[in-house]
Structures are given as structure tokens and as C-alpha cells.
């Protein structure tokens, strides 16, 4: 399974994601510069965290226009797995691959901690190695992770089982319905504020995040022949 990690100017979790794939899955993974337009040789895309283009206009707003994003859209349309973590989630929302938007944390401060997260849907390619209702501990680190969508969208997310992760315990940013991560209708595009790549070894404080990567590989192995 070949992973692509697009790098925008200002990305800073790019190599953390690359290392996680290498260390946990041992599968091939390559950085892809934001000018590149071809992702056809990859099976999955990880949009990393960071501050793409300084996040100066709105988080993820400029990255969305990067040449590589057209290729990410194609990959998503083709049913390949696309995951956006933190800034990557913001880019996915800005580019319309996921509904809603991420706003400034309601307490106005950046928040970095290891946060309990509840698995709300384990029927996705990203969560099949978890149990429904399982609470895992995954680091968060963001100033604008306050997920917002209107009521109609929220109703739709619920109806389609698109809410994949919710914050357990205190909501760290004021997000609607404690949402920490959502997927698209088809289930192959996931956006999440928490950083699974920061929780893959015990010495990091938690290794709960490694199962997200294992889920992706498991799903791909079970489904790639059919594609």
C-alpha cells in the first residue's frame, strides 16, 4: 500500500506522518510537493497538520488552491483513502471534500494535550481496528479546531453515520456536538483534529493512534483486489 503525504509550505507534521506509516505499517510512503499534480501511483493520501501558507487568511484556505489538491480530489473521487489531520482536516473542509468549517477554539487559546476520544463509527476504513464506543487517548494541538456546521448538515452527518470521533470528557474547543472527526458519505475521506501519528508508541504517552493506520492497511488489503 503506497501512501502520499502532500507537503504545503508551512506543513509541519509531514514527516511525523511519514514516520508513522514507516514505523507502524512498514509500507512505502513518500512526501509529495504541493506543485505535483499526479497522485495516481498512490493508494492513500495523508494531508498533514501544520500551518499551510501560514494559515494567514483562514486555516487551509490557500492550500486548497494548491495544484496537488486537484489530484487529491481525483483520488477521493476514485475511492482511494484520504485522511486529513488537523490542518489537513481544515484543508478538506475548505476544499469542499468534507462539509462544515473549523473555527477558532471557543476559549480563544491554542490547546495541546492528550485528549480522550470516543470511536463513534468503526465501520470506516480508518477505524475498523477499533471497537464502537471505545475511548482512546490521542494528542490534540490546535487553535482552530472548533468544528461548525449548520443544523441541516449536522442532521445529515448523523443520519449517514459520518461522525467518526467525538471528544470524550471536556470538549477542548467548543465543536458542534463534540465532533472530533467526520468522514464523507462514501466513507473514504476522513478529517480529524486529533493527531493519531503522535500516539504510536507507549513512550509518546499513548499508542492508541497506531490502530488507525493499521485499519487503513487492513481495509486496503481486504478491498484492493476488488477495485
Which residues are known to be catalytic?
86, 195, 197
- Nearer of residues 57 and 186 to another protein, judged by Cβ: 57
- Nearer of residues 51 and 126 to another protein, judged by Cβ: 51
Report the nearest approach of another protein to the CB of residue 223 (Å): 29
Report the nearest approach of another protein to the CB of residue 19 (Å): 6
**Closest listed residue to residue 34, CA positions, set 85, 70, 68:** 68
Report d(CA 41, CA 103) in Å as an integer: 34
Report d(CA 103, CA 45) in Å as an integer: 24
- Nearer of residues 83 and 220 to another protein, judged by Cβ: 83
Are 59 and 144 contacting, i.e. CB atoms less than 8 angstroms apart?
yes
- Nearer of residues 62 and 72 to another protein, judged by Cβ: 62
Q: Which three cell numbers stand for residue 80?
A: 482511494
Task: Enumerate binding residues for another protein (CB under 8 A).
Answer: 9-10, 12-13, 15-16, 19-20, 49-51, 53-58, 61-62, 65, 93-94, 99-101, 103-113, 139, 141, 143, 146, 148-150, 174, 195, 197-198, 200, 203-205
Report the nearest approach of another protein to the CB of residue 66 (Å): 12
* Torsion of the alpha carbons at 47, 49, 54 and 56, rounded to the nearest 10: 80
Report d(CA 18, CA 47) in Å as an integer: 11
Report the nearest approach of another protein to the CB of residue 212 (Å): 14
Q: Is the dihedral of CA 129, 184, 68, 7 positive or negative?
A: negative
Report d(CA 192, CA 182) in Å as an integer: 7
Amino acid at each position: 500500500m503506497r501512501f502520499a503525504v502532500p507537503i504545503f509550505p508551512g506543513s509541519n507534521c509531514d514527516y511525523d506522518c511519514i514516520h508513522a506509516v514507516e514505523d507502524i505499517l512498514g509500507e512505502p510512503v513518500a512526501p509529495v510537493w504541493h506543485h505535483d499534480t499526479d497522485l495516481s501511483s498512490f493508494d492513500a493520501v495523508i494531508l498533514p497538520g501544520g500551518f499551510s501558507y501560514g494559515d494567514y487568511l483562514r486555516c487551509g484556505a490557500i492550500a486548497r488552491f494548491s495544484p496537488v489538491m486537484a489530484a487529491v480530489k481525483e483520488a477521493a473521487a476514485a475511492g482511494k483513502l484520504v485522511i486529513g489531520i488537523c490542518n489537513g482536516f481544515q484543508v478538506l473542509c475548505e476544499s469542499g471534500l468534507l462539509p462544515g468549517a473549523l473555527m477558532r477554539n471557543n476559549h480563544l487559546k491554542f490547546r495541546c494535550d492528550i485528549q480522550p476520544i470516543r470511536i463513534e463509527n468503526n465501520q470506516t476504513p480508518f477505524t475498523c481496528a477499533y471497537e464502537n464506543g471505545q475511548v482512546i487517548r490521542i494528542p490534540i494541538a490546535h487553535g482552530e479546531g472548533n468544528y461548525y456546521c449548520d443544523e441541516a448538515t449536522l442532521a445529515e452527518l448523523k443520519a449517514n453515520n459520518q461522525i467518526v470521533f467525538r471528544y470524550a470528557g471536556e470538549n477542548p474547543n467548543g465543536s458542534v456536538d463534540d465532533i472530533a472527526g467526520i468522514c464523507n458519505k462514501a466513507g473514504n475521506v476522513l478529517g480529524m483534529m486529533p493527531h493519531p501519528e503522535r500516539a504510536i508508541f507507549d513512550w509518546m504517552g499513548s499508542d492508541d493512534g497506531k490502530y488507525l493506520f493499521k485499519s487503513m492497511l487492513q481495509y486496503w488489503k481486504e478491498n484492493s483486489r476488488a477495485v
